[in-house]
Amino acid sequence: MKSRVRVALVLLLILLVAGLFGRPLLIGPPGDASRYLLLEVGGAYAEAAPAGLLGRVFRRREHTLLELLATLKSAAKDDRIRGLVVRVTKLQIGWAKAQDIRAALGDFKAGGKPVIAYLEHEAGAGNLEYYVASAATEVYLPPNASAPLTGLLSQFFFFGGVWEKLDIEMNVEKIREYKTAGDMLANKSMTAAHREMADSLLDSINQQFIAGIAAARGLDEAAVQAVVNQCPIEPAAFAATRLSDGVKFLDEIRHDLVGAAGKFLTAQEYRPAGRSAPGFDWRPKLAVIYAVGPIHTGAAGGGVADDSVGADTLAEAFEQASSDSDIGAIVFRIDSPGGSALASDLIWRAAQRAKAKKPVMVSMSDVAGSGGYYIAAAGTRIVAQPGSLTGSIGVVLAKPNIRGFLGKLGITTETLTRGRFARLDDMTSSASPEERAKVVAAMEHIYDVFLARVSEGRLLTRERVNELGRGRVWTGSQAKDNGLIDELGGFMRAIELAKEAAGIAPAQEVRLQFYPRPKNTIARLAGYLEARAALPMPPAWQRVAAVLLPLSFPDEAILALMAEVVEIR
């Protein structure tokens, strides 16, 4: 009996080893010179995969942006891959991620291999989807597709009228005039500064949108804008205006490229050449530290998703990465609208300490504003896409007086105090002039520290930082012009800069070590049980939730939070 058990264990061990080291051999070569890789591009692209087993069980599967970019980079250099077919469906990403994907498609195309885009879209504007697809060598739509180029829209919601109906007095303080996160809560319409900033952002993104399409399709920018103004919808209209190369089904594209009996190689089947076996990877190592979601003090996340930035968690990540002698440099990837001013400063300090040991290259995703920019200011260099939203150097506070609302419900309160300013946090009274002066003084102090951090990190005078700050949001393109970032580029460009700073040859492949490190399963289960389960919502509902999210202010009262929800679609 014992002998049989030993034999079974040996066989199991052999199978495990074969699974780990022999899998590329068992599935066969990823393709030959006649193979085309089919890549599905659609939905959301997370910055990092859900950590641990529970994250994968409780969250729907989301591909990460880095997975997509890495696949494109590998296939571009792989002689066994002849070309690429990209099936573009509805996207739930921002402009910076879209530009990361476009850049990767452009790099693939620059290597002399064709990129065929198949735009399979219906219902709703197709601006972002077409923008991504237009980077291909050829663009096709199926006969019944509907991907209207409506032109770009930026919409803002204001809740000032809601509080009147509920008998709530919403008190908002902000530093300075462009810090519009509180305007959404307290006002009924845009201020002049808000409108100026919103128009500037929309103009910048629209210029990138039109210029990108024009360059890819070999058209004049004015002609592209004229076509967008006509709002082409049907596939025939795209072909007539040279925005596409015709109307085809995907099976017709496959027939043309690989023949009637041919098949595309899927991304799931594809295995890049030269991949090291697990446990035997001697490539130089870089750290990637993610800051995704709102910023707060303490540890990140209470549930399985961990889509928040905890100061303690990030500080630990920087300490681990900077203390690892095998890591040559750190890429700090940020996709955050900010949050707690205190937490932002604590993370800034952790990044600053890490920079004293190793280079820290900041890569901005769709959003790195307010507290998200604060934590970036400690970086050695800052890289952002032209469509990244950043800046918003300022401070905001919102405090409701709910006494009237409670009265409508028949609830009364009695408040006893000891101390002249004991009512500063009282939500059943509005601030007196003296109390308001105390609050504003605290906010001015935080703003001054914010200016100092940026001045030190960007080598700008405090006066210049104040000119660029005052709560104003900039696109990455604008931020490059005014000195808030160093270079335009995406995730891969930040990795290239990190390699250069670490003394790694440009052609040398590297291994990425991701932070924060995932918790063990028991710890994550405990966190999940303490948190509310987050169920996926339809995209339209997600936008409504995003608009309402700023109403749920965290415990920290003074926030480095970006302007409400800046969405251009």
Torsions phi, psi for 295 (to 5 deg): -100, 135
**Angle made by CA atoms 214, 218, 222, in degrees to the nearest 5:** 40
Tokens of 471: 């709560």
Torsions phi, psi for 133 (to 5 deg): -65, -30
Burial class for 536, CB neighbours closer than 10 Å (0-12, 13-18, 19+): exposed
Active-site residue identified among 363, 370, 388, 392: 370
Q: How far is CA 355 from the centre of its chain?
A: 23
Among residues 539, 491, 535, the alpha carbon closest in space to that of 91 is found at 539
- In angstroms, rounded to a whole number, what is the distance separating the alpha carbons of residues 558 and 339? 9
Q: Are 219 and 213 in contact (CB under 8 A)?
A: yes
- In angstroms, rounded to a whole number, what is the distance separating the alpha carbons of residues 336 and 549? 14
Is residue 370 flagged as an active site residue? yes
Q: Which residues contact residue 128 at a Cβ distance below 8 angstroms, ignoring those fewer than 6 apart?
A: 91, 93, 95, 98, 569
Q: Are 34 and 81 in contact (CB under 8 A)?
A: no
**Cα pseudo-dihedral 93, 99, 101, 103, rounded to 10:** 180
Q: Are 153 and 568 in contact (CB under 8 A)?
A: yes
- In angstroms, rounded to a whole number, what is the distance separating the alpha carbons of residues 290 and 278? 24
- In angstroms, rounded to a whole number, what is the distance separating the alpha carbons of residues 435 and 454? 29
Is the preceding omega at residue 516 within 30 degrees of 0, hence cis?
yes
Is the preceding omega at residue 148 within 30 degrees of 0, hence cis?
no
Matching residue, tokens 């597709």: 145
Consecutive H or E run containing 224:
helix 221-230
3-state secondary structure of 176: coil
- In angstroms, rounded to a whole number, what is the distance separating the alpha carbons of residues 29 and 47? 29
**Phi and psi based region of residue 361 (left: phi greater than 0; alpha: psi -120 to 50; beta: remaining):** beta
Q: How far is CA 271 from the centre of its chain?
A: 27
Matching residue, tokens 């405990």: 526
Q: Which residues contact residue 313 at a Cβ distance below 8 angstroms, ignoring those fewer than 6 apart?
A: 299, 300, 516
- In angstroms, rounded to a whole number, what is the distance separating the alpha carbons of residues 340 and 342? 5
Q: Are 525 and 54 in contact (CB under 8 A)?
A: yes
**Cα pseudo-dihedral 38, 41, 45, 49, rounded to 10:** -20
Residues catalogued as catalytic? 370
